Structure 1
Amino acid sequence: MPGIGEVELKKQIQTGELASVYLLYGDEQMLKKHYSQKLVSKAVAKGMEQFNLMQFYWKDTSMDEVVDAVETLPVMAERRCVVLIDLDAESLKAADQEKLTKLLKDPPDTCVLIVRLDAVQCNPKKSAKWRSLIKKIDSVGCTVQLDHRDMASLSKLLCSSALKRGCTLTPHVARYLVELCGNDLQVLSGELDKVCSMIGEGEITRKDIDMVAVPTLESSVFDLSRAITKRDISKAFSILDTLLNQKEEPVAILSVLCMGTVDLYRAKVASLGGGRAEDLAKDFNYRGKEFRLRNAARDAARLDIDRLREQLDILYEADRKLKGSRVDGRVVLEQTIVQLMA
């Protein structure tokens, strides 16, 4: 069976027609844990977890233990479940690879094996080992890539979640929350909890969000980028002071500042070529961050393409100084901001 999506995974859980093996990977941690728990709840009868559920972290176990657990018969039930967290195909030894391959050729139908990647990254486009493992799992089970949702899905989910908490949230304000706090579901859920707890009930406003929500580094630096674009030096240095007082690393600040300038450059090139900034989402990884392209298209309209190229050179030089010299990071960033505004 080839890789499946979230809709098909939900259907399998609802019907109870589970595969023998699942690989859950991708950027969205909350979804991976959510569906892992759902699969466990469906595979193991309530009250029998002590007998029919085993969980392993790959760094603390061996392939022999995992194979033994999968092949052990369930106690007073049709099946058991084994959860293996952070198996790393890149670091598998030859002997372990052979044992895993043998297991995946004919997995027992008395067990559901869930391989969940929390800290380990799986990139089948760049890794032959991951492509091989995914192919093996797809032949007997299901691989599910759970990445960050797009803005429309996140907005709809936040509005629904707010209602369950006794509050109302408009799609416009929900999008603002995503722009401020990022597209990680776990973070967004926590920030929404704080806002709902503060107001108790009623409609959530942008002002409510600003009072308690914690902006991501990315959001703050994009505000810095917009201040630079508007040549608002007072606001730019104020944002920089706040970031440094929050102990953000100068290299991290510069990295996100580079991202903002690259967004502007891409949007400008798209505009000059007769295209739309939103079309760039198909070629670059902007899933859940499409607002960056819209903002970039708006800000790039009044910028010259040659000036943007100069700014990229300025940022490159700043990156070289931060990583290759002993110059104070604050000084490098302040000089860079002034140069970008020149």
Structure 2
Amino acid sequence: MPRHSHDDLLRALGRSELAPVYYLHGTEDILKEELARAIVDGALQPHERDFNFDQRSAQQLDAEELHSLVNTLPMLAERRVVVIRDIEAWKKKASQRAVLTKYLENPSLDTVLVLVESAPSEEKRRDWEPDAEIVARSYAVNLEPLEPARVARWVAFHAKRLGVTFAEGAAEHLAASAGYELGALRSELEKFASLAGDAPVTREQVGDLVGVRHGETLEDWVDAVLGDELPKALALTTPVLEQSGCRG
């Protein structure tokens, strides 16, 4: 099967189109979590999940348990969903891999299997490739870090779900302050949710909470350096180094 994007999968789910097997891989684990949840939401009603939803780690599954999970019939529902994380562990476990390979050749129409591979470590990313065998037999989605503009929209979307609204420029500043890292942003949004009032959060309030004022992000420093603005870059050096994760 061809590889698909994050948006491809969301559009397919919006059309209620489900694949028998999904393979979520790449370096952005937060997006994998969100898509796995979206697949479950699209496949099962809340009242169907007690008997028809299983979520396991590949590291804790033996071959017999895996066979049982993927071949169990749904109960009082059209289908069941099985989410298996950390599937990179099966590269060294021949018996589990054999069960998976056999299943992928003829997956059940009553089961939606979601295979989630953890992000490779920094030292392995250059040579890392998705599992070609699974890609060929699944709806494979490569999940990499979002572009900055999309991160700001991601922040606004998740903030709304938490009851937080941002004034103009505030979501963008929060995204830049966290280095566009979704994990850090999720933590910051939870803080804002606990402090949320009726008024939209301003850019200045974001700066006060995260400790990074507007115009003093790492991105601003990089832009100054690349733009050959030496005085500005020098002025930003100290505040940028004082920010979390940037201390030398």
**Pairwise TM-score range, normalised by the shorter structure:** 0.7 to 0.9
- Cα offset for 1:159? 4.0
**CA, structure 1 residues 176+20, in 2 after alignment: closer, same or farther (shift >3 Å)?**
same
Match of 2:67 in 1: 67
Q: Distance in 1 between matches of 2:88 and 2:48?
A: 29
Q: Which amino acid aligns with 1:19?
A: A
Q: Distance in 1 between matches of 2:126 and 2:139?
A: 18
- Cα offset for 1:150? 1.0
SS of 2:47 mapped into structure 1: coil
For residues 23-34 of structure 1, the aligned pairs below 5 Å read 23-34=23-34
SS of 1:202 mapped into structure 2: coil
CA contact (8 A) 2:5 2:142 kept: yes
Q: Tell me whether 1:183 sits opposite 2:180 in the alignment.
A: yes
What is the Cα-based RMSD across aligned positions, in Å?
3.2
Q: Which amino acid aligns with 2:167?
A: L
**CA, structure 1 residues 60+198, in 2 after alignment: closer, same or farther (shift >3 Å)?**
same
For residues 294-309 of structure 1, the aligned pairs below 5 Å read 294-298=223-227, 300=228, 302=230
Deviation larger for 87-96 or 60-69: 87-96
- Cα offset for 1:29? 2.8
**CA, structure 1 residues 292+12, in 2 after alignment: closer, same or farther (shift >3 Å)?**
farther
Relative to total residues, which structure has the larger helix share, 1 or 2?
1
Q: Distance in 1 between matches of 2:152 and 2:38?
A: 23
Q: Tell me whether 1:126 sits opposite 2:127 in the alignment.
A: yes
CA contact (8 A) 2:90 2:96 kept: no
Q: Distance in 2 between matches of 1:39 and 1:77?
A: 16
Q: Distance in 2 between matches of 1:28 and 1:111?
A: 26
**Unaligned stretches of 5+ residues in structure 1:** 223-288, 304-329, 334-342
What CA deviation, in whole Å up to 9, does each residue of 1:117-155 have, x standing for no partner?
34666978624xx54x3x333333211122221111122
For residues 323-338 of structure 1, the aligned pairs below 5 Å read none
- Cα offset for 1:210? 2.7
Q: Distance in 2 between matches of 1:39 and 1:161?
A: 18
- Cα offset for 1:57? 1.0
CA contact (8 A) 1:24 1:117 kept: yes
Match of 1:157 in 2: 154
CA contact (8 A) 1:27 1:147 kept: yes
CA contact (8 A) 1:167 1:204 kept: yes
Aligned length: 228
CA contact (8 A) 1:24 1:143 kept: yes
- Of the three residues 160, 167, 170, the one matched with 1:169 is 167
CA contact (8 A) 1:70 1:82 kept: yes
- Cα offset for 1:12? 2.0
* TM-score, normalised via structure 1 length: 0.57
Q: Which amino acid aligns with 1:202?
A: A
Q: Which amino acid aligns with 1:126?
A: D
What CA deviation, in whole Å up to 9, does each residue of 1:42-75 have, x standing for no partner?
2233322222111211121213311221112212
Match of 1:42 in 2: 42
Larger Rg computed on CA atoms: 1
- Cα offset for 1:293? 4.9
- Cα offset for 1:89? 5.4
Q: Distance in 1 between matches of 2:99 and 2:160?
A: 49
SS of 1:167 mapped into structure 2: coil
CA contact (8 A) 2:24 2:140 kept: yes
- Give percent identity, aligned residues only: 26
**CA, structure 1 residues 47+156, in 2 after alignment: closer, same or farther (shift >3 Å)?**
closer
Match of 1:107 in 2: 107
CA contact (8 A) 1:22 1:141 kept: yes
- Cα offset for 1:86? 0.6
Q: Which amino acid aligns with 2:189?
A: L
Match of 2:52 in 1: 52
Q: Distance in 1 between matches of 2:38 and 2:101?
A: 26
Q: Tell me whether 1:209 sits opposite 2:206 in the alignment.
A: yes
**Unaligned stretches of 5+ residues in structure 2:** 232-246
CA contact (8 A) 1:195 1:208 kept: no
- Cα offset for 1:162? 5.0
**CA, structure 1 residues 292+89, in 2 after alignment: closer, same or farther (shift >3 Å)?**
farther
CA contact (8 A) 2:87 2:117 kept: yes
* TM-score, normalised via structure 2 length: 0.76
Q: Distance in 1 between matches of 2:19 and 2:127?
A: 27
| Structure with the larger RCO, 1 or 2 (CA within 8 Å, 6+ apart) | 2
